[in-house]
């Protein structure tokens, strides 16, 4: 399935976030594991960011460093239209904390919080929310 807005995601080597994104869309863009300072990843169209929470949602390493670097590029940050968090409910109050922090800091909507790599119900819920936000037909 193709969505009306790009999905940009970060997934570590476990690829749990990638598995969820692959359920949402046939087309997506991954923030590289190895950030290239000389040739940073630039995304030129509006997008929704999908990312995990690190460090069990505590401390200064909640948002993956690659995502921080990606959003520190002003042109990338200017194209951000929403955020979806992935994580583990074992984190308690810190579940999907990275997505909450990015939403609060940038003012974009927090579209959803997904446990690990999501269920088919999560896919339906997120797809419906994206449809409502971006006014398209399924």
For 75-129, give the secondary structure using H, E and C: HHHHHEEEEEEEECHHHHHHCCHHHHHHHHHHCCCEEEEEECCCCHHHHHHHHHH
pLDDT, tens digit, 9 for 90 and up, residues 77-97: 999 999 999 988 887 888 899
Q: What pLDDT, on the 0 to 100 scale, is given for residue 129? A: 92
Q: Which residues contact 34 (CB under 8 A, 6 or more apart)?
A: none
Q: What pLDDT, on the 0 to 100 scale, is given for residue 138? A: 46
**What share of the chain has pLDDT > 70, as a percent?**
92
Q: What pLDDT, on the 0 to 100 scale, is given for residue 59? A: 63
Q: What pLDDT, on the 0 to 100 scale, is given for residue 4? A: 73
C-beta of residue 20 within 8 angstroms of C-beta of residue 117: yes
Tokens 């069990």 identify what position?
56
Q: What pLDDT, on the 0 to 100 scale, is given for residue 89? A: 86
Q: What pLDDT, on the 0 to 100 scale, is given for residue 132? A: 86
What is the DSSP secondary structure assignment for residue 65, as one 8-state letter?
Answer: H
- Domain 6-134 carries which CATH code? 3.40.50.360
Q: What pLDDT, on the 0 to 100 scale, is given for residue 57? A: 52
Listed as ranges, residues in the chain with pLDDT below 70 are 1-2, 56-60, 136-138
pLDDT, tens digit, 9 for 90 and up, residues 22-34: 999 988 999 999 9
Residue 61's CB: how many other CB atoms inside 10 A?
A: 14
């Amino acid at each position: 399935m193709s969505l009306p807005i790009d999905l940009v995601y970060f997934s570590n080597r476990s690829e749990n976030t990638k598995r969820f994104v692959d359920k949402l869309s046939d087309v997506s863009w991954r923030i590289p594991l190895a950030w290239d300072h000389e040739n940073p990843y630039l995304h030129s169209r509006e997008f929704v960011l999908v990312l995990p929470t690190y460090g069990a949602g505590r401390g200064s390493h909640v948002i993956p460093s690659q995502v921080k670097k990606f959003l520190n590029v002003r042109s990338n940050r200017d194209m951000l239209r929403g955020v979806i968090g992935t994580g583990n409910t074992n984190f308690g109050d810190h579940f999907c904390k990275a997505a909450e922090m990015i939403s609060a800091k940038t003012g974009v909507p927090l579209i959803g919080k997904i446990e690990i790599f999501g269920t088919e119900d999560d896919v339906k819920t997120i797809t419906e929310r994206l449809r409502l936000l971006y006014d398209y037909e399924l």
